[in-house]
Amino acid sequence: MRSVLTINSGSSSLRFALFNVSESLPQILIGKFDRIGLPDAKLTFTDVLANQSHDRMVDAPDHVACVPLLVELLEKKIRVESVGAIGHRVVHGGPRYRDPLRVDKPVLEELRRISSFAPNHLPSTIALMEVLAAKFPQVPQIACFDTAFHSALPRVAKLLPIPRRYEAKGVQRYGFHGLSYSFLMQELEAVAGAKAAGGRVILAHLGNGASLAAVRDGKSVDTSMGFTPAAGLVMSTRSGDLDPGLVAFLGRSEQMTETQFDRMIHHESGLLGVSETSSDMRDLLAREAPDVAVDVLSLIVTADRTETPFAERSGILFIGNFQHPPNCDALEDYLRNIHPAVRERLPHVVFTVIGAHVPPHLERLGDDGVQFAGPVADIRPHFAAARLSVAPLRYGAGIKGKINTSLAFGVPVVTTTVGAEGMELHHADNILIADAPEAFAEAVVALHSDAALWTRLSANGLRAVTTQFSVANAERALARVLGLRGDAGSTTRASRL
């Protein structure tokens, strides 16, 4: 089995992920080294296939020190020699690099030349590339640049209002978080269609670093970050936009050097600087408003139970958009590892796949017991005829619409721990949960064959949807948010998942 390792190095962190080389690129392992350079550095990782997470304290004085620990972890999961490529997120490509490219000596030299453009990121990235090249000399390393998404900015957005001679030295607006924005645009097209993704779009990347981007016709036309990732919005510890006159003022009044100023705007400002307590919004909310309740307004579905009795139903459904990688991975795993066992015990039951953009290699995995229905105008007749639906997700976060949709039609679901995460659903009460392929197949067969089990899960699943995700539940949450009901002295806020 060949695999691809991806590396995302931050100023004091190193994220990594390992993917199996197949057309759907399923994740095998994900993790992060955090607080690099500090005494309490920590390694956290998740074995995706086993759905097991672990963490431990590590000695990581710098990014290079993480490599032996990462290699040791990889050796426990795979044969290290199976790593076929290593991909790096590189925060800055300067004026020259726009497309992903293989790392070689000239690339490393150019990155060193522009390392002053991103002094908190590029030196550690370069060091990682060099030590990984020594450890895996035959494995190609590919650099993917965070500035590439914004490389086609119009000149009016790219040009900074300083003497033009600095433009020749590469001083311009570059923009950042480009890999994140590229992913968001792919997801937007998958969810809302090509027309929406090709229109006027505002994107927000909100984390410790934060930025906005304006996109038209699929291309960035403006962005809040500039020459460095310190510009734009107020961030966790970065200042965002400041009056440039502060440089001279603090130099005169505080004898602040350029190094001290750089540290201040990158590590001591933003939410941390304003609050003087924490850069974490959760900490700030707990301190500033400990009595403020938080209401969650989640995905809304309308219960529309299909009344077809158990005896008149047959078949298994899988519904989803297959431009979404977790759906492709789930379908591939089902067809390869679950469907044959189900087919052996239920030879006349048809597995129907509903949704657009099923990759050809997944269609080729089907047999005469698999039907690819494509996108359908009305999904209700399919749910009215089927006995159950499946959501064999191995990764992905958030409320799963495919599960809510099925339960709202009164059709029970078999899913995984990942699929049920965050939905307040309970195994054998309102859903069946199984992670191993053999256990998943056993649950599908049981639910398709047992009328009493089906009837109980159908009723309880519908009740769970009505309780948590109905229009009435959303109305109650909004009423609390707006102060229309509830304790007079209580203030509530809502966040939409």
Domain that holds residue 181: 148-233
Are both 346 and 463 inside the same structural domain? yes
Is 380 within the bounds of a domain? Answer: yes
Below-70 pLDDT ranges, the chain: 24, 51, 293-298, 397, 484-497
pLDDT at residue 295, as a whole number: 67
Are both 333 and 364 inside the same structural domain? yes
Contact 369, 340 (CB under 8 A): no
Are both 352 and 440 inside the same structural domain? yes
Are both 16 and 108 inside the same structural domain? yes
Is 477 within the bounds of a domain? Answer: no
Are both 195 and 132 inside the same structural domain? no
Cβ-based burial of 52 (10 A; exposed 0-12, middle 13-18, buried ≥19):
exposed
Question: End of a domain among 113, 145, 177?
Answer: 145
Is 273 within the bounds of a domain? Answer: no
Is 257 within the bounds of a domain? Answer: no
Is 492 within the bounds of a domain? Answer: no
Are both 206 and 104 inside the same structural domain? no
Contact 36, 44 (CB under 8 A): no
Q: Which residues are catalytic?
A: 146
Is 78 within the bounds of a domain? Answer: yes
Are both 317 and 459 inside the same structural domain? yes
Is 5 within the bounds of a domain? Answer: yes
Contact 298, 399 (CB under 8 A): yes
Say what the pTM is: 0.69
Are both 189 and 215 inside the same structural domain? yes
> How many beta carbons lie within 10 A of that of residue 240, not counting itself?
17
pLDDT tens for residues 128-137?
A: 999 999 999 9
| CB-based contacts of 154, cutoff 8 Å, min separation 6 | 221
Number of domains, the chain:
3
Place of tokens 């991975």: 329
pLDDT at residue 79, as a whole number: 78
> How many beta carbons lie within 10 A of that of residue 101, not counting itself?
14
pLDDT at residue 397, as a whole number: 67
Question: End of a domain among 145, 164, 198?
Answer: 145
Are both 206 and 321 inside the same structural domain? no
CATH number at residue 358: 3.40.50.2000
pLDDT at residue 387, as a whole number: 98
Strands 141-145, 27-34: parallel, antiparallel or unpaired by DSSP? unpaired
pLDDT at residue 12, as a whole number: 79
Is 456 within the bounds of a domain? Answer: yes
Nearest to 181 by CA among 225, 128, 233, 143: 225
Q: What's the rounded Cα separation, in Å, for the pair 442 and 147?
A: 48
pLDDT at residue 296, as a whole number: 65
pLDDT tens for residues 412-470?
A: 999 998 899 888 899 999 999 998 899 999 999 999 999 999 999 999 999 999 888 88
Question: Coil, strand or helix: which one is 494?
Answer: strand
> How many beta carbons lie within 10 A of that of residue 478, not counting itself?
14
Are both 127 and 179 inside the same structural domain? no
pLDDT at residue 493, as a whole number: 39
Are both 107 and 167 inside the same structural domain? no
Strands 351-354, 52-57: parallel, antiparallel or unpaired by DSSP? unpaired
CA distances from 228 to 118, 151, 258, 279, 289 (A): 7, 14, 15, 20, 34
| CB-based contacts of 79, cutoff 8 Å, min separation 6 | none
Are both 89 and 221 inside the same structural domain? no
CATH number at residue 196: 3.30.420.40
Question: End of a domain among 145, 180, 214?
Answer: 145
H/E stretch holding 415 reads strand 413-415
Buried b (16+ CB within 10 A) or exposed e, 170-185: ebbbbbbbbbbbbebb
Q: What's the rounded Cα separation, in Å, for the pair 421 and 439?
A: 18
How is residue 273 annotated by DSSP?
A: H
CA 111 to mean position of chain CA atoms = 28
| CB-based contacts of 471, cutoff 8 Å, min separation 6 | 300, 302
Nearest to 391 by CA among 447, 453, 451: 447
